[in-house]
Structure 1
């Protein structure tokens, strides 16, 4: 699929560019080489590709990290040293928290719908455990919410917290709604779950809702980033005895998955990079 940038229509419809079948036997480097080939062939037709977006397949995610130099490096092809890269003029002192390289051939985004379902599935998993402060992110508080409050208050039904379809995106929207967050305030031991649902809510606002302003997109995208950074650092700092009883081998098992975390970081960096490039008149306004 390809979505053109049209100055008079910020929500231009994507269309099918090509379709092909594969045997699923490929590596991240194969993906990256295909993107570079597509980019170069498009350049020959005076088409400038701004970015690529995929689901959260680990191979695609690694290809994105290699392409952007985001805690990964492709030693065989110096992508960022090309003459046709986009130069991002990073404001002073941003380098302490903005980790993407300032020379990018193209930007990369992880599909936010898949990211949301990954976050939702992690929370509803019967095996995974996540710890925030002295509370566990728990499906139990959602079950209690269903049992103690009317559907008219929170809008949830049982299938929203026990979805048979793991890609059911509608339940992500319902679980992260303001009504659910508000209703959970009266449920004991729900603070960690509310924090986690706010993380999910911020991803929805930043990358999915069409009426979100660019300022709010950046705010919520980076709210999710810093929430995850603080959460991860806290887990690294707490004593090992603090996690006794949670049946995990490592403290990192009490956090979101690595692909989901990298996706949150990568999307926020790419969004802010796009904004900077537009503000510096290196990309058209329609890129936002």
Structure 2
């Protein structure tokens, strides 16, 4: 908006205000491959279109193409037991099933409050070992390809490193608590997630007027009184 109103200076050789493509960002896509199968968003779209009753999967098209890329609620619905059961029943959707199953394990390991510590450790390291095997298979299967090409068949490096780091930190926390170096309260793993803070912001925005979604935390006392 500031650019269109002339707030910023216009470079002499680039017409920013009249070129529709100059500010577009070309985000590269991935071609996640497991064996001879590929993970594809079309598999989820087919579930929405094929099943007449939403009670079978609880998905809607907006869950697959959310305007908010950090829509955690849609992520929960996509990785539900019902959706995983539908994907698992079809051999053609095996890669999509595996990818979403890993996503579900991440939720159960680090976000779900009902998961026990033993299960958290199991889910976290299952993700790590599956990703390691997946990556090793890709390096062997496509060894004649460049590293950049092989990376296109795998999850992003930040996601992979995050899986490894979180699993090691979880194990380290458990060992510290077992040795008595940390209290047992340190194993409240969901508190490390940002979802608890996101829920507070959602609650605070619901307390604002209809014309504004801004949150003013200077009125800390009033805000604390309204949140149970």
2:190 alignment counterpart: none
Aligned-residue RMSD, C-alpha: 1.8
Write 1 or 2 for the structure with the bigger share of helix.
2
How far 1:252 sits from its partner (Å)? 1.5
Q: What's the offset of the Cα at 1:251?
A: 0.9
2:45 maps to 1:143: yes
The residue number in structure 1 matching 2:69 is: 166
Q: Compute the TM-score of the two structures, normalised by the length of structure 1.
A: 0.53
Counterparts of 1:249 and 1:213, CA distance in 2: 38
Q: Which residue of 2 aligns with 1:47?
A: none
Matches within 5 A, 1:107-122: none
Match of 2:226 in 1: none
Change (3 A) 1:175 1:166: same
Cα distance in 1, alignment partners of residues 28 and 63 from structure 2: 15
1:265 aligns with 2:168: no
CA distance in 1, matches of 2:142, 2:131: 19
Q: 2:121 aligns with which of 218, 227, 249?
A: 218
In structure 2, list runs of 5 or more residues that go unmatched: 1-26, 188-228
The higher-RCO structure (CA 8 Å, 6+ apart) is 1
Decide whether the 8 Å contact of 2:32 with 2:154 is kept in 1.
yes
- TM-score normalised to the size of structure 2? 0.66
**CA separation of 1:181 and 1:256: change in aligned 2, threshold 3 A:** same
Contact 2:142 2:150 in 1 (8 A): no
Q: Kindly indicate whether the alpha-carbon contact (under 8 Å) linking 1:145 and 1:187 is maintained by their aligned counterparts in 2.
A: no
Taking the TM superposition and a 5 Å limit, the aligned residue runs for 1:44-123 are none
Q: Distance in 1 between matches of 2:93 and 2:72?
A: 23
How far is the alpha carbon of 1:188 from its aligned partner?
A: 5.0
